[in-house]
């Protein structure tokens, strides 16, 4: 499957209800990839947008009561129109508001993938997380967290970090690409949620789409980190350039993956 070629030939429209910190980075990253992002803040347009969208990202990073209504309406319309939904429970353990919001969305609606960092996913799966904010402080095993989350919700999950773990529909794998500077900028996990939707739009097999999206994204980070990068500041534009200048070839021999 030539994901990048297909994304660039017919760019999937991904509606991003995401946090205020990462909107610009997410839009730039998606356009560099070749996809078509649209951010929205108005529930009145949920019906129109979900009639034409190829994916819906719900990222709760800076959610509030107004955005809660927006998210609910967008997912309801996405479900009605069979638009795939990725949920990013940013900072899940940080407050009861975040927990209740995410729990309610999972309970009420169909979600195709829950993705989060180890701390978020550990807290979501019922474990004790030490994180107080949006950054991961966990060194627990990513695959174990993913398995526990999948057992609890029966929804495909991706747990991110130095090792990424995917568990879905009888399938388990860990992925081992990426660059440490991804953990030193804001928004690398948030942009990944949108990128995954561009890949899902090109392949209904969620496992396959997620693995390829994570691998492409992390291999681009590796090349960005290796070329003229002095630190987090220069990593950001180099990363955007790398998402733009690479293609499907990067996936052919550089993916480090193990199947369980
Ligand atoms: N130390 C690391 N080494 C390699 N890749 C990493 C590292 N930290 C994060 N990543 C990658 O960065 C992306 C975001 O992961 P993460 O930092 O866990 O998410 P978040 O930004 O939501 O906290 C993922 O693609 C992940 O594989
Ligand atoms: C700093 C911050 N605060 C609320 S959302 C957000 C961005 C989090 O981005 P990521 O989880 O991708 O690092």
Indicate the annotated binding residues for ATP. Answer: 115, 160
Judge if ipTM > 0.90: yes
Evaluate: CB of 61 within 6 angstroms of ligand 2: yes
Q: Take atom 6 of ligand 1 and give the residue whose Cα is closest.
A: 162
Is residue 192 in contact with ligand 1, taking CB distance under 6 Å?
A: yes
Domains and CATH numbers, the chain: 3-259 (3.40.1190.20)
The response to whether residue 217 sits with its C-beta less than 6 Å from ligand 1 reads yes
Higher pLDDT, 45 or 259: 45
DSSP string, 44-76: GGHHHHHHH-SEEEEE-TT--HHHHHHHHHHHH
Do the bridges between strand 113-117 and strand 85-88 make them parallel or antiparallel, or are there none, so unpaired? parallel
Task: Kindly indicate the confidence band of residue 96, based on its pLDDT and cuts at 50, 70 and 90.
Answer: very high
Q: What is the pLDDT of residues 204-236, one digit of tens each?
A: 899 999 999 999 999 999 999 998 899 999 999
Ligand nearest, relative to CA of residue 222: 1
The answer to whether residue 260 scores a pLDDT higher than 80 is: no
Nearest residue to 37 (alpha-carbon basis) of 59, 50, 54, 20: 54
Please work out whether the CB of residue 19 comes within 6 Å of at least one atom of ligand 2: yes
Give the chain's mean pLDDT.
95
């Amino acid at each position: 499957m030539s994901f990048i070629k297909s994304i660039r030939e017919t760019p999937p429209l991904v509606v991003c209800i995401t946090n205020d910190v990462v909107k610009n980075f997410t839009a730039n990253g998606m356009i560099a990839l070749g996809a078509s992002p649209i951010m929205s803040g108005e529930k009145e347009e949920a019906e129109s947008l979900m009639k034409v969208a190829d994916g819906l990202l719900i990222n709760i990073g800076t959610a509030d009561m107004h955005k809660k209504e927006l998210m609910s309406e967008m997912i309801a319309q996405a479900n009605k129109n069979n638009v795939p939904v990725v949920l990013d429970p940013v900072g899940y353990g940080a407050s009861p508001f975040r927990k209740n919001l995410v729990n309610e969305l999972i309970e009420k609606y169909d979600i195709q993938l829950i993705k989060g960092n180890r701390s978020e996913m550990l807290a979501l799966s019922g474990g004790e997380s030490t994180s107080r904010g949006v950054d991961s402080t966990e060194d627990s095993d990513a695959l174990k967290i993913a398995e526990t989350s999948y057992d609890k919700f029966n929804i495909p999950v991706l747990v991110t970090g130095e090792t990424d773990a995917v568990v879905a529909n009888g399938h388990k794998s860990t992925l081992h690409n990426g660059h440490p500077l991804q953990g030193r900028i804001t928004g690398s996990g948030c942009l990944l949620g949108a990128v995954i939707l561009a890949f899902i739009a090109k392949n209904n097999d969620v496992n396959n789409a997620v693995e390829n999206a994570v691998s492409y994204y992390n291999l681009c980070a590796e090349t960005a980190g290796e070329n003229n990068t002095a630190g987090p500041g220069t990593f950001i534009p180099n990363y955007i350039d790398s998402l733009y200048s690479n293609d499907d070839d990067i996936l052919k021999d550089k993916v480090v993956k193990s199947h369980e």
